[in-house]
Structure 1
Amino acid sequence: MTRVKVCGITSREDLELVVEAGVDAIGLIVDVDVGTPREIDPDLAVELARATPPFVTTVLVTMPGAPETTVELAARIQPDVVQIHGKSTPGDLAYLSANVGGDVIKAVSPEEAGIYETVADALLVDSLDEDGAGGTGTTHDWVRTGELVEKLSTPVVLAGGLTPENVAEAVETVRPFGVDVASGVESRPGRKDPDAVEAFVDRALAGAVAGDPP
């Protein structure tokens, strides 16, 4: 069954509403080099990570200037997973995998997915900008990403321009391990819409069922 992550949680209220909607994971954006209304300070990330109930995965989303900085940040926030954006090398990813307490996900474009397969616990395939940041709100070639899912042994999480209106088709086409959404379920930048989150979760699951073999 496809897992659902809602990224860019900025408040306790939004945390509670996405958990109520049945998400599998939440993303906390800290220390990124791009302007986003979803970035929060480390103290709030600590608070939200600790408030997240059991069986909901906490994900620290960051763009490290140096791997050592991310190790320190992860030790402070104590997420279940660290999701890396930006231009980190495979060596950087190997260092992080050895030094953080949880799994490491690397955000990649479809073209570079194979580079990180052996050093990341999962790959988040996204529509990235030139700095390697996600959150562009645009889709990419789902058919090509579906081919990656078939080819790679590493779990693939689909991101980029997903909304309640297109997520079922995306899941049915790609068959990813999980889907990741931020702006596609917001009422305004940085704040989640409860109806949109609920619809997104329901339709992601519907797409997974529709894509199951008979």
Structure 2
Amino acid sequence: MATNVKICGITNVDDAERAVELGAWAVGCIFHRPSPRRCRPAEAARIAAAVKRRTLVAGVFVNHPLDEIVRLHDRIGFDLVQLHGDEGPAFCSEVGRRTGAKVIRAVRVGDAGDVRALDAYRSVDFHLLDSARPGEPVDPVLLRARRADIPLLLAGGLTPENVGAAIVAAEPFAVDVASGVEAEPGRKDPDVLEAFFAAVAETDAALAPVPEPAAVAEPGPAAAEADA
């Protein structure tokens, strides 16, 4: 199965359009105010209007009040809501109920306990594992602690150079990248973005099962008599 790609930290329509052209499954707009990739609501609305029906749009939140998430959803129309703070299972369920969007619960992984903590989030649509160490990929050994069968998004320090190894190790539903394809915070590098998608496609092709050759049918009696 092909690995999906989510491009996060989108702050402008041009980068969103480029991601869609390359085949992005989703683009993410971050609303966490301290983030250097924060997207202002007015620009997020323009991004969503430009790419709706061609890709999914995610709103990324960190410990935001529920009413604020709902208000921004009503204004922008997210397909996905990504919760990246201390939100508990009940809060995640309420976000899904009040917005109608699919919910991604993200955690930063420093040890196996962080991975197992996601098991409590059974009502969300996706789990996302990010690295506790900025710029570094998640240790693939830690992924073995995951028991849930909820689709996995893998983030954390991914680049065109290492995304292939990450896919082989984790077999995720999707990979999620922000800083690894940037020219500067909030601005994507077109060449690196293209290289990332190419690396994902190359890895998927290498992992695809080789079809077995079709069996050759033995000639029946009638064919044998005709040859005689």
Q: Which residue of 2 aligns with 1:63?
A: 62
> Does the C-alpha gap of structure 1 residues 65 and 56 become closer, same or farther in structure 2, counting only changes over 3 Å?
closer
Q: Deviations over 1:8-54 (max 9, x none)?
A: 11112211222222222111111x15x22210111111111111142
Give runs of aligned pairs for residues 1-214 of structure 1, distance below 5 A. Answer: 1-30=2-31, 32-33=32-33, 35-108=34-107, 109=109, 110-116=115-121, 118-128=122-132, 136-145=134-143, 148=146, 151-214=147-210
SS at match of 1:171: helix
Residues in 1 aligned to 2:208 and 2:21: alpha-carbon distance in whole angstroms: 26
Q: Mean alpha-carbon deviation: is it higher for 72-81 or for 160-169?
A: 72-81
Deviates more, 1:67-76 or 1:156-165: 67-76
1:146 to partner: Cα distance: 5.5
Over the residues paired in the alignment, what is the CA RMSD in angstroms? 1.7
Distance 2:93 2:206 in 1: 37
Change (3 A) 1:27 1:146: farther
Q: 2 CA distance for matches of 1:186 and 1:41?
A: 18
Q: Which amino acid in structure 2 is aligned with residue 154 of structure 1?
A: I
SS at match of 2:48: helix
Query: Structure 1-normalised TM-score?
Result: 0.88
2:131 is paired with a residue whose SS is coil
Matched pairs, number: 203
Q: Is the 8 A contact 1:9 1:27 kept in 2?
A: yes
Deviations 1:80-109 (A, max 9, x none): 111111000111011111111210101023
The answer to whether the Cα contact below 8 Å between 1:82 and 1:102 also exists between their aligned partners in 2 is yes
CA distance in 1, matches of 2:30, 2:164: 26
Shift of residue 66 of structure 1?
2.0
TM-score, normalised via structure 2 length:
0.83
Tell me the equivalent position of 2:216. none
Segment drifting more, 153-162 vs 105-114: 105-114
Structure 1: give runs of 5+ residues left out of the alignment: 130-135
Aligned equivalent of 1:133: none
State the shift of 1:147 in Å: 5.7
What residue in structure 1 maps to residue 225 of structure 2?
none
Does structure 2 retain, via aligned residues, the 8 Å contact 1:186–1:192?
Answer: yes
d(CA) in 2 for partners of 1:192, 1:17: 9
- Indicate conservation of the 8 Å contact 1:171/1:211, yes or no: no
> Is the Cα–Cα contact under 8 Å of residues 122 and 155 in structure 1 kept in the other structure?
yes
The percentage of aligned residue pairs carrying the same residue is 39
Higher alpha-carbon deviation: 15-24 or 204-213 = 204-213
Pair 1:114–1:180, CA change in 2 (3 A):
same
